[in-house]
Amino acid sequence: DMVTQLGGLSGNAAAEAPIQTYTVQQASTLRSSPTGGSVVRALPTGLRLYPTGKREGTWWEVMDDNDNIGWVQNERLAPGT
């Protein structure tokens, strides 16, 4: 409460937290489901993605800047800056 009263954070600290981003390091595809889902779109090297928090093995569910959501293998990603 003290931090909120001092104006450091709003009442919803989770919404204020920075979102982790990842960058595509090797051209890949965004898929509708892990291991064999249909292709949602191509992922060029350098594209920024946002993890949703869902994971299945080496597959992570992510969202791009256009709100496309799908799955990509995590070894093709690197932490963004």
Condensed to tens digits (0 to 9), the pLDDT of residues 30-64 reads 999 998 899 999 999 999 999 999 999 999 999 99
Class of domain 19-79: mainly beta
* Dihedral angle of Cα 53, 58, 63, 64, to the nearest 10 degrees: 140
Beta strands in the chain (DSSP E): 22-24, 28-31, 39-43, 48-56, 59-63, 69-73, 77-79
User: Would you state the pLDDT for residue 56?
Assistant: 95
Largest pairwise CA distance in the chain: 50
Instruction: Please report, for the chain, the start and end positions of each structural domain, with discontinuous segments joined by +.
Output: 19-79
pLDDT per position as a tens digit, 9-32: 555 555 555 568 999 999 999 999
Single pTM value for the model: 0.75
